[in-house]
A and B are shown apart, each in its own frame.
Chain A
């Protein structure tokens, strides 16, 4: 919480540079806001969907059996070589029995169990199921963030956003994984196993949150310099809240033109970012039309606060070395205006 407190003070005072230094310190603890009570928001052991729960249950079964097999095998070794050390060797017949039971029968049982459970659960988690898959979202892996395109039933794009996937609770959403650069892998462990986004392919993954909640996920396939901080948030909410959210995301920017927009355009931000309803229509970076509605910035790396936004704009590579966005250091008043504007993009 410490970091957020500092960040909220903003850039109003004349000691801008000193503040910026302080902001750099932020990057050492950007996720403190998650600390309290948020452990497990990116964990396969805290399933929040039926798919993840099935796999977690399978995991516990396998761990238990593995521990059992381990103890029996090491135990036999310890008893045979330690306890019975120097006694008679096993007869040929008992040796053969030992090898056949331990080395052939036990593995065969394990293989059958692995195979049957794997096929059954795999079929279940990877299938569309009858629950209906009205919602289709294109998830596009970028270097190093995620573009999310919500499609309507005709396959037309309704809304474009970035790094924060909203899903309706209890519905099976179809995520189509795309990439126009390198291979990424979409992994929100609380909801589902991972699937790769491969250039030239359209892989499909289903996500069906069973409860309301906010989770984090991140890229799981090494995709270059900033693979590490290529995260995203998943927000599951009731259908009506989701509809409201989607409607807003589909609209043009709600903020009225302000001095900050001019700063935005003067700095050239519009070359890479889109703010729908303004001249900014760049395609390289995340769509910022509703930036202020998101919980995080920099691909789920920093909480979305005024201080963090300022720090990100002025010292991008301190937060994310290698990020493709350059740093900008506008005049203090301009920065102030810019942040005012960005914070109004609800």
Chain B
């Protein structure tokens, strides 16, 4: 075994614009050996054993978008029902289920997993790692998510979906007022997603902190990676709160604990505090990585370094921290003392500062630049147009007296669709257009992309802008219909029309993706001229990500190498086992080499066992011990020592 060291690569990337000559760098034989070592097994059975982060990340993204489409269709159904006063298309039972599933699925099954998916796919590439720190845990998290999400939608198909809203307030969610399995399915699904999100969070934190390429000190980390790091820590701190809340509720319903039963000293407000202590950071968990995506795209398409790197890092971290101190603004109408609410009013509006800093850093970066208005950049512009409006209404609802009028009205529905669609979906769409060539090796059609972006932008505003007015005119949320004569009909009809335009816009992107997978132009390694490391590997990425792990000397390695005509790389990693560099936390000095585990079916089996226990728990407490021991047994096989570190 050769010693691990750092050397300067001989090849000149500038000479090979479409490919950086991954094979030439180490020679054909070594290249093939490394790629064989990192290959994911193919075939149906092989699919269940894959652990590479690129495979798992892609699965998260694809699954999340499938749930996005399903939940979006539910949204359309609600808009159809609300198009006219006293419409009878949906019964209140059906509407309440659809409303609950739409909200829950969009938050838990689409937004968080999609962001995690992008993070799992992109972050390791960006930090120049060959894979993530715990590849099998990663796979486990995915299967848990897949099974939980599918079971959740299955419950809707069976007509037994939860119908107490995505916020699931007690006492409505107590056994007395919600009989049947609906709420149990909700709490179970939450457990699945918590588990999946927590595994992804630990995974991302360790990968970002310890597996960065040599030289990528914290202050050279791309903003997107910073954002992912902040998101992961937020998941770590926010999730336990909803975990506690849903476990309490599950136990209240299953074994008659009395956490939320007023008659026995329980408290409905306890649920609200626990839920929103998670629920508010939750929206920033979704927003923060999106800010990272926006930053990546802004830098690439302005073609120059970011203005205010430190300010942005501080802003993102600041948002992460302040977001834990705002939850009470969801509870302004619950009769808490005014003094206390005033504090949360101040804290809530404080988010405007870091948000403002970010927006103006982006503007300063774009100012006077030769900005290329390709599709990812167009989605970012749409993001600006929508998100800023949502942010401004966000500052308004921070005001206690104003909020007491618009709280739980359609104004709030409009507000959070502006921030969540504007702040998360638009950047995600930008991310798809931006990284699709990297992930698939094909370019998406620009023309379809422009059409999609415009249609979505116009459709979105037609759908959601009127809702501001509806809310002020007194229309509450979560209603399956409304009486005639209150003057709400026209605006609702307009919103429904917009919703279909919006759906058409997303359908265009779906069509674009499907078509381009086969017929898209072949993508070079770095089609957009990006500055970060994910563009240094092939498109689609090599099995090992980097045939030689790069060594980083600035925030913009790709641009440095383009100027220098050469690059510095790590040499001497084994070709026969999965090895990646471990570096120090702050300066990313080489520390040791980590040997990563290869393909295995056990995470899948373990996830099936866990799901069996969780889903069974809906029907009988006995499934808790059954599930526990089943998972224990599979874990034994999972962790059975196989000495991957022994030289073959």
Cα–Cα, bound, A129→B385 (Å): 43
CA A221 to CA B353, docked complex, whole Å: 31
B268 lies within 8 A of A200 (CB):
yes
Q: Are B408 and A31 in contact (CB under 8 A)?
A: no
Residue A224, interface by CB 8 Å = yes
- Given the known A-B contacts A216-B486, A220-B407, are A44 and B396 also in contact in the complex, defined by CB atoms under 8 Å? no
Option from A43, A66, A226 in Cβ contact (under 8 Å) with B92: A226
Residues from chain B with a CB closer than 8 A to the CB of A214 are: none
Residues of A near B381 (CB, < 8 A) are: 77
Q: Is B369 in contact with A30, judged by CB distance below 8 angstroms?
A: no
In-complex Cβ contact of B486 among A39, A62, A66, A185 (8 A): A39
Complex formed: what's the CA distance from A62 to B345 in Å?
Answer: 15
Q: How far is the CB of A123 from chain B (nearest CB, A)?
A: 7
Contact B357 A222 (CB under 8 A): no
A222 vs B92: C-alpha distance in the bound complex, in angstroms?
12
Q: Which of A55-89 contact B (CB under 8 A)?
A: 55, 58-59, 62, 66, 69-70, 73-74, 76-77, 80-81, 84-89
CB distance B268 to A183 under 8 Å? yes
In the bound complex, what is the Cα–Cα distance between A85 and B478 (angstroms)?
46
B449 at the interface (CB under 8 A from A): no
- CB-CB under 8 A from B311, the residues of chain A are 99, 103
CB of A200 within 8 A of CB of B352, answer: no
Residues of chain A from 34 to 50 with CB closer than 8 A to chain B in the complex: 34-35, 38-45
- Verify if A32 is at the interface (C-beta below 8 Å from B): yes
Would you list which residues of chain A between 11 and 32 have a CB under 8 Å from chain B? Answer: 27-32
Q: How far is the CB of A267 from chain B (nearest CB, A)?
A: 26
The 0/1 profile, CB within 8 Å of A marked 1, for residues 465-482 of chain B is 000000011101111111
Query: Which of A32, A115, A117 is the one whose CB lies under 8 Å from B346?
Result: A115
Question: Is the CB–CB distance between B402 and A59 below 8 Å?
Answer: yes
Interface residues of B in 325-383 (CB under 8 A from A): 333-335, 338, 341-342, 345-346, 349-350, 352-353, 355-361, 363-364, 366-371, 381
Asked if A114 contacts B399 (CB within 8 A), the reply is yes
The reply to whether the CB of B405 lies closer than 8 angstroms to some CB of chain A is yes
Task: Please tell me if the beta carbons of B401 and A193 are within 8 angstroms of each other in the complex.
Answer: yes
Residue of A41, A85, A103, A193 near B357 (CB, 8 A) is A103
Q: Are A95 and B371 in contact (CB under 8 A)?
A: no
Alpha-carbon gap, A145 to B565, bound state (A) = 76
Closest to B88 in A: A28
**B91 on the A face (CB < 8 A):** yes
Enumerate chain A residues within 8 angstroms of B393, measured Cβ to Cβ.
66
CB within 8 A of B472: which of A43, A54, A219, A322?
A43
Contact of A198 with B268 at beta-carbon distance under 8 Å, contacts A59-B472, A118-B345 already known: yes
Q: Are A223 and B172 in contact (CB under 8 A)?
A: yes
Taking CB atoms, residues of chain A closer than 8 Å to B366 are: 77, 80-81
Hey, which chain B residues are within 8 Å of A123, CB to CB?
Answer: 338
B389 within 8 A of A: yes
Contacts of A117 in B (CB 8 A): 399
Residues of B within 8 A of A177 (CB): 335
Q: Is B353 in contact with A108, judged by CB distance below 8 angstroms? A: yes
Q: Are B177 and A27 in contact (CB under 8 A)?
A: no
Query: In the complex, what's the smallest C-beta–C-beta distance from B382 to chain A, in angstroms?
Result: 12
B13 CB–A CB distance under 8 Å:
no
Q: Which residues 86-104 of A have a CB within 8 angstroms of B?
A: 86-90, 92, 95, 98-99, 101-104
User: B84: nearest residue on chain A (CB-CB)?
Assistant: A28
Q: Is A133 part of the contact surface with B, judged by Cβ < 8 Å?
A: no
Count residues of A near B (Cβ-Cβ below 8 Å): 98
Q: Indicate if the CB atoms of A321 and B92 lie closer than 8 Å.
A: yes
Centre residue among B171, B342, B485 by max chain A CB count within 10 A: B485
Contact B363 A118 (CB under 8 A): no
User: When the two chains form the complex, which single residue of B399, B404, B473, B476 contacts A219, counting CB atoms closer than 8 Å?
Assistant: B476
Q: Are B91 and A228 in contact (CB under 8 A)?
A: no
Q: Does A227 contact B (CB under 8 A)?
A: yes
- Name the A residues within 8 Å of B171 (CB-CB): 181-183, 199
Count of B residues near A, CB < 8 Å?
86
CB pair A39 B487 closer than 8 Å = yes
- A-B residue pair count with CB separations less than 8 angstroms: 288
Given A99-B357, A195-B335, are A80 and B404 also a contact pair (CB < 8 Å)? Answer: no
A33 interface contact, C-beta 8 A: yes
Within the complex, what minimum Cβ distance (angstroms) separates A291 from chain B? Answer: 20
B165 within 8 A of A: yes
Within 8 A of A (CB), among B473-512: 473-474, 476-487
- Taking the complex as formed, is A293 at the interface, i.e. its CB lies under 8 A from any CB of chain B? no
Contact A34 B485 (CB under 8 A): yes
Whether B612 is near chain A, meaning CB under 8 Å from some CB there, is no
CA distance A64 to B127 in the complex (A): 45
B266: min CB distance to chain A, Å = 8
Is A264 interfacial (CB-CB < 8 Å)? Answer: no
Contact partner of B405 (CB less than 8 A), chosen from A40, A55, A118, A227, is: A55
CB closest chain-B residue, reference A86: B370
Decide if B333 touches A195 in the complex (CB within 8 Å): yes
Partner of B352, one of A111, A192, A198, A228: A111
B269: Cβ under 8 A from any A Cβ:
yes
Chain B, residues 382-409, CB within 8 Å of chain A (1/0): the string is 0011001100110110111111111111
Question: Which residue in A39, A203, A217, A321 is a CB contact (below 8 Å) of B335?
Answer: A203
User: Contact at B172–A182, with CB atoms within 8 Å?
Assistant: yes
User: Which of A33, A114, A221 is in CB contact (< 8 Å) with B485?
Assistant: A33
Chain A 216-247, CB-CB to B under 8 Å as 1, else 0, gives 11111111111111010000000000000000
Q: Is A169 an interface residue (CB 8 A)?
A: no
Return the contact of B478 from the options A39, A76, A222 (Cβ within 8 A). A222
Using CB atoms, name the residue of chain A closest to B372: A85
Residues of B within 8 A of A40 (CB): 473, 487
Contacts of A104 in B (CB 8 A): 353, 356-357
> A90 contacts which of B334, B367, B384, B398 (Cβ < 8 Å)?
B367
* Contact between B402 and A115, CB atoms less than 8 A apart: no
- A321 to B93 alpha-carbon distance, docked (Å): 9
A103 lies within 8 A of B361 (CB): yes
* Residue in B92, B363, B476 whose beta carbon sits within 8 Å of that of A102 in the complex: B363
Q: How far is the CA of A39 from the CA of B488 in the complex (A)?
A: 9
Which residues on A sit within 8 Å (CB–CB) of B399?
58, 62, 114, 117-118
CB pair A62–B402 under 8 Å, yes or no, is yes
CA A38 to CA B11, docked complex, whole Å: 78
Nearest 9 pairs of A and B residues by beta carbon: A193-B404, A203-B335, A34-B485, A80-B367, A103-B357, A107-B352, A103-B356, A31-B485, A42-B474
Subset of 6 A-B contacts with CB under 8 Å:
A73-B359, A84-B368, A85-B371, A103-B357, A110-B352, A196-B335
Residues of A within 8 A of B (CB): 27-35, 38-45, 52, 54-55, 58-59, 62, 66, 69-70, 73-74, 76-77, 80-81, 84-90, 92, 95, 98-99, 101-104, 106-108, 110-111, 114-115, 117-119, 121-123, 125-126, 177, 181-183, 185, 187, 189, 192-196, 198-201, 203-204, 216-229, 231, 301, 321-322
Given contacts A114-B349, A119-B345, 8 further A-B contacts (CB under 8 A): A114-B345, A115-B342, A118-B401, A177-B335, A193-B405, A220-B409, A222-B477, A228-B479
